[in-house]
Chains A and B, each alone.
Chain A
Amino acid sequence: MSVRIGVRSRLAPAVACILLGFAAAAEIPPGERRSGYEFMSRETRAIQDDDAGNPGMLWVLDGEALWKRKAGATDRACFDCHGDARESMKAVAARYPAFDPALRRPVNLEQRINACRVGRQKAAALAYESKDLLALTAYVARQSRGLPIAIAIDERTRPFLEAGREAFFRRQGQLNLACAQCHDDHWSGKLAGSPITQAHPTGYPLYRLEWQGLGSLERRLRGCLTGVRAESYPYGAPELVDLELYLMWRANGMKIETPAVRP
């Protein structure tokens, strides 16, 4: 039986993956999705569970202060337009990356915050992975804690989702590994003593014990790419945002944990 792989076909990725030797390219079924939280030791989970001991809260508190700080030529704070973040930012992080009509492509939360800073506050953009951007992103995402990830895909965002999915299944780097090989096929196994998780970005920005600081999903993805000895993309690259869109969509229904703690 011959198989035609058409670009538009919904089955195309599944067929392509079978031909390339992967397990079925369907995402992990919703009932089987497990947060990285479940792969950690009891003690590390305890760090995340207690706001009084969760180092990520230091950034969240910084973010709370930044939310009220006036900035830019307009001398306005986030608060001046958005009011109390606990109300206005509820469920926002759960639907990012989201489509930006001006750029005609999805943007992540960090880019959305910078778009506000530059476009509305007339202030300078915050550098990727800077303390301030991490703090604001953590503060905004914290307002979605406990809420389910809800990435809605429509005809505008579908091509970017497919690009992200294609990247997830593509072998790359000197180690010639695809994300799917570890995170779809071998989660719950181990890589050099560390548990392999399903790679759901439920708690970003998060406090990583390895970093001894808070970091973004892009930092983690860049680390993974470096890990398979592939050339990493710069922060904010469309390739990274497409992958973030796919990863969040793949984790639909899972609860936001920001600021999470991970090894």
Chain B
Amino acid sequence: MTTRREFLVLAAASLAAPTAAKAQLDPNLAAKRKAAYEEALGKVVGGARVRAGRVKLQLPPLIDNGNSVPLSVAVESPMTAADHVKAIHVLTQRNPLPDVVSVHLGPRAGRAGISTRVRLADTQTVVAIAELSDGTFWSDSAEVVVTLSACLEEGLI
């Protein structure tokens, strides 16, 4: 049986010990993810200026399920050897990781673009950046509202 003294010592010790707190969400989550997005953006464009335009990012504004969201990027470009899109990058601001896809292409693509389906963790802004053969960067962004599924299975199968 624990004596009153032992109990008080144990209680004090547990208060003083740093808690693992692994199960808690980081209170700065949004800020950290935004910072990760900025860093990923920096890796893509270097220090270059990113201009809005030429890129069309299409996402449904209100999606059925964040697990699989149809996404399309199309970039206006003649796609000739002299003037074409070299790469298309898609980034998110609130996913656990900012990168989604990076497309590497050239004049043979005919049209610069991609259609795919992505995971979106939260209501947020998605950004598509095109890198042109002349070294310039262009972008478009889209806002999506992501709701949680009403009945979750929670791992039960």
Do A's and B's CB atoms come within 8 Å in the complex? Answer: yes
A residues lining the B interface (CB < 8 Å) = 40-44, 46-47, 129, 191-194, 209-212, 219, 222-224, 226-227, 232, 263
| Chain B residue with the shortest CB-CB distance to A232 | B156
Interchain CB contact under 8 A, B157 and A219: yes
Contact of A41 among B62, B67, B117, B149 (CB under 8 A): B62
Contact check: which of B65, B117, B156 meets A226 at CB < 8 Å? B156
Residues of B whose CB lies within 8 Å of any CB of A are: 60, 62-65, 67-70, 117, 147-154, 156-157
Closest to B58 in A: A43
Given contacts A191-B150, A192-B148, A193-B150, contact A263 B64 (CB under 8 A): yes
* CA A193 to CA B149, docked complex, whole Å: 8
What are 7 residue pairs bridging A and B, where the CB atoms are less than 8 Å apart in the complex?
Answer: A41-B63, A44-B64, A44-B65, A46-B70, A209-B68, A212-B68, A223-B153
Closest chain-A Cβ to B147's Cβ sits at a distance in Å of: 4
- Cβ contact within 8 Å between B62 and A263: no
> Would A224 and B151 be within 8 Å (CB), given that A43-B70, A47-B70, A219-B157 are in contact?
yes
4 smallest CB-CB distances across A and B, nearest first, come from A263-B64, A227-B151, A193-B147, A209-B65
* Residues in chain B near residue A219, CB distance under 8 A: 157
A183 → B minimal CB distance (Å): 13
The answer to whether A194 and B60 touch across the interface, beta carbons within 8 angstroms, is: no
Among B60, B69, B157, chain A packs the most CB atoms within 10 A around the CB of B157
- Chain A residues with CB below 8 A from B65, complex form: 44, 209-210, 263
Contacts of B148 in A (CB 8 A): 192-193
**A41 and B60 in contact (CB under 8 A), knowing A46-B70, A210-B67, A222-B156?**
yes
Report how far A41 CA is from B66 CA in the complex, Å: 13
CB-based nearest A residue for B70: A43
Contact of B67 among A43, A193, A209, A232 (CB under 8 A): A209
A193 to B157, CA, bound (A): 24
Cβ B67 vs Cβ A212 within 8 A: yes
| Chain B residue contacts of A210, Cβ below 8 A | 65, 67, 149, 152-153
Q: Please, how many angstroms separate the alpha-carbon atoms of A191 and B151 in the complex?
A: 9
A37 to chain B, nearest CB (A): 12
Whether B157 and A129, one on each chain, are in contact in the complex, defined by CB atoms closer than 8 angstroms, is: yes
Q: Which residues of B are found within 8 Å of A47, using beta-carbon distances?
A: 68, 70, 117
Name the residue in B60, B63, B151 with the highest tally of chain A Cβ atoms < 10 Å from its Cβ: B151
Further 14 A-B residue pairs, CB within 8 A, beyond A41-B64, A192-B147, A223-B156 = A41-B62, A42-B60, A43-B64, A43-B70, A44-B70, A46-B70, A47-B70, A191-B150, A209-B68, A210-B67, A211-B153, A212-B68, A232-B156, A263-B65
CB-CB under 8 A from A224, the residues of chain B are 151
Q: Are A194 and B67 in contact (CB under 8 A)?
A: no
From B66, which residue of chain A is reached at the shortest CB distance? Answer: A209
Give every chain B residue within 8 A of A211 (Cβ-Cβ): 153
**B156 proximity list for chain A (CB < 8 A):** 222-223, 226, 232
